[in-house]
Amino acid sequence: MPPLHVNPALDATVPRLQLSGITKRYPGVVANSDVSLTVQPGEVHAVLGENGAGKSTLMKIIYGAVKPDAGEMRVDGHLALVRNPQAARQLGIAMVFQHFSLFETLSVAENVWLGLDKSLPLVQVTQRIRDTATAYGLDIDPLRPVHTLSVGEMQRVEIIRALLAGPRLLILDEPTSVLTPQAVEKLFITLRRLSAEGCSILYISHKLHEIRALCTACTVMRGGKVTGVCDPRQETNASLSRLMIGAEPPPLTHVAKEPGAAVLTVNQLSLERDSPFGVDLHGVSLQVRAGEVVGIAGVSGNGQRELLFALSGEDRRAPAASISIAGKPAGRMRPFGRRALGLHFVPEERLGRGAVPDMSLAQNLLLTRKEAVGRMGWLSMGKLRAQSADIIQRFNVKTAGTHAAARSLSGGNLQKYIMGREIDAKPSLLIVSQPTWGVDVGAAAQIRGEILALRDKGCAVLVVSEELDELFEICDRLHVIAKGQLSPSLPRKDASVEQIGQWMSGLWPGAEGAQASEKEVAHAAA
């Protein structure tokens, strides 16, 4: 990794970053209102707030991706006019976006190379990516095209690209939203090392325990304004939650109950990868019954994408009988046919698969909902808008209205809307990938509560998530996926974080990886 761009001649008492009176208005909303923020050299500074509080807009202003309407910014004591991201990078500012800024047709190495000094040959950049990925546990193949990566793998590319820039100020917007606990701990080691070397870090996360464990200062925002500054190490999750949303999230009620008949059955599903960089599925079997939540844990890129494509109907190569929905063979069915059987699906990619970016929220309902479609295909726009407005109100989506384009929403608010669209459909089978990715603690509690409410009404729910805390909170049974294989199911009450973490490496009883490990131990003993 290159040395940090820290000038030893700089006065360590001068703030690395100082914002004064930053204001940014959009039609119908003030994203930032007279915001002031100070970050010291080597400080890990959290910016905390609920979805739509203005955090991401503020970070984009610092990085030069958005121009403020008022206010000034100083870097190392000098007035800085950051007109674009290139100017920010010249000042030593790097950013990892919540919504990734990668070119899908290019390779990982080419994407990283675009943000670095072009005097470096691509082959050298490729090797530096490998070295950095190995050093920090961010496993990625630099030669892979980006369009073949999972969301978690794209997150790793963004982090590596930022680290290779050798930043003096590193901005991280929800960097751990799709990382496993083991990967998060490795990332924290990296960030603490950067901080010790003088790099300042602005850290946005809705995971309060992460902020308390990592950050040394915290600025709280609400409604586009700064409402407080604190030392998160002196706070509890409850007190931080009160500072952020004015209350503690309601506790979830998980009542044990006997599930009903099987709604989804997967029987010995084996599929060859559909791309050179995909993962083969090997004999995957699982069952989800009415009135239960089944979770699948695993490190991103271990077959989750392939399994979800097969279940949703985007990949119809599976034998018809290998996937059964409501007792009907569905392996070859199109997504529309599966929805007719009661399946609703939330993909991990919000924009592009979960929603069409330039369509309004009301129009995006038509992707999976047909209540506003009348005879001969005529649309009832009034009914469509009313339906969209109900979801916005029920799930507290912060937006200019039903006419707002999907891309205009913050990541967390778009997630709330997409989840609301599918939950409101009253499905008999709901399959969700990363249900609370990037949403604040209050919204996460509401989404998890809605999932449990669906379960209590008899819906079968399958949740694929890399947040173990989430899976332990809402699931009745757990599986782990590793290298395209699915572990046996384990009742939540019998599972532990340590055990699930071990299974993520493929080390469950009877697995090929576990058998290989046992042979290695026996050989070493001999």
Mean pLDDT of 274-290: 93
- Alpha-carbon distance 160 to 2, whole Å? 12
Per-residue pLDDT at 178: 63
Q: Are residues 183 and 147 in the same domain?
A: yes
- Alpha-carbon distance 408 to 394, whole Å? 19
* pLDDT of 409 over the 80 cut: yes
Q: Are residues 95 and 168 in the same domain?
A: yes
Q: Are residues 271 and 414 in the same domain?
A: no
Q: Which residues contact 387 (CB under 8 A, 6 or more apart)?
A: 362, 365, 369, 371, 372, 424
Of 189, 213, 244, at which residue does a domain stop? 244
Per-residue pLDDT at 427: 97
Domain for residue 255, yes or no?
no
Per-residue pLDDT at 155: 80
* Residue 491 Cα distances to 447, 450, 476, angstroms: 22, 21, 6
Count of positions (residues) in the chain:
526
Number of helices (H), then strands (E), belonging to the chain: the values are 17, 21
Of 213, 244, 275, at which residue does a domain stop? 244
Helix (H, G, I), strand (E, B) or coil at 210: helix
Q: Which of 40-44, 239-243, 485-489 has the lowest mean pLDDT?
A: 239-243
Q: Are residues 152 and 285 in the same domain?
A: no
Q: Are residues 201 and 296 in the same domain?
A: no
Instruction: Write out pLDDT tens, residues 469-497.
Output: 899 999 999 999 999 999 999 999 999 98
Q: Are residues 138 and 187 in the same domain?
A: yes
pLDDT band at 513 (very low <50, low <70, confident <90, very high): low
Q: Are residues 507 and 438 in the same domain?
A: yes
pLDDT band at 510 (very low <50, low <70, confident <90, very high): confident
Q: Which residues contact 436 (CB under 8 A, 6 or more apart)?
A: 415, 443, 444, 447, 448, 465, 467, 470
Q: Are residues 106 and 137 in the same domain?
A: yes
* pLDDT of 516 over the 80 cut: no
* Token output for 243: 């500072």
Q: Are residues 50 and 193 in the same domain?
A: yes
Which residue range(s) make up the domain with 306?
Answer: 260-342+427-526
Q: Are residues 420 and 434 in the same domain?
A: no
Domain for residue 12, yes or no?
no
Residue % of the chain over a pLDDT of 70: 93
Residue % of the chain over a pLDDT of 90: 64
- Alpha-carbon distance 389 to 171, whole Å? 34
* pLDDT of 514 over the 70 cut: no
How many domains are contained in the chain? 3
Phi and psi based region of residue 221 (left: phi greater than 0; alpha: psi -120 to 50; beta: remaining) = beta
- Alpha-carbon distance 214 to 192, whole Å? 8
Nearest to 261 by CA among 420, 428, 84, 103: 428
Domain for residue 503, yes or no?
yes
Domain for residue 11, yes or no?
no
- Alpha-carbon distance 349 to 108, whole Å? 18
Q: Are residues 301 and 268 in the same domain?
A: yes
- Alpha-carbon distance 445 to 51, whole Å? 13
Domain for residue 306, yes or no?
yes
Nearest to 343 by CA among 463, 459, 479: 459
Judged on CB neighbours under 10 Å (0-12, 13-18, 19+), 376 is exposed
- Identity of the residue numbered 80: A
- Alpha-carbon distance 337 to 353, whole Å? 18
Q: Is the pTM of this model over 0.85?
A: no
End-to-end CA distance of the chain: 41
Helix (H, G, I), strand (E, B) or coil at 263: strand
Residue 411, H or E segment: helix 411-423
| Mean pLDDT taken over the chain | 89
Q: Are residues 223 and 205 in the same domain?
A: yes
Residue 87, H or E segment: helix 85-90
Q: Which of 86-100, 325-339, 358-372, 505-519 has the lowest mean pLDDT?
A: 505-519
pLDDT band at 520 (very low <50, low <70, confident <90, very high): very low
* Residue 282 Cα distances to 110, 125, 328, 489, angstroms: 32, 35, 22, 16
Write the CATH number for 66. 3.40.50.300
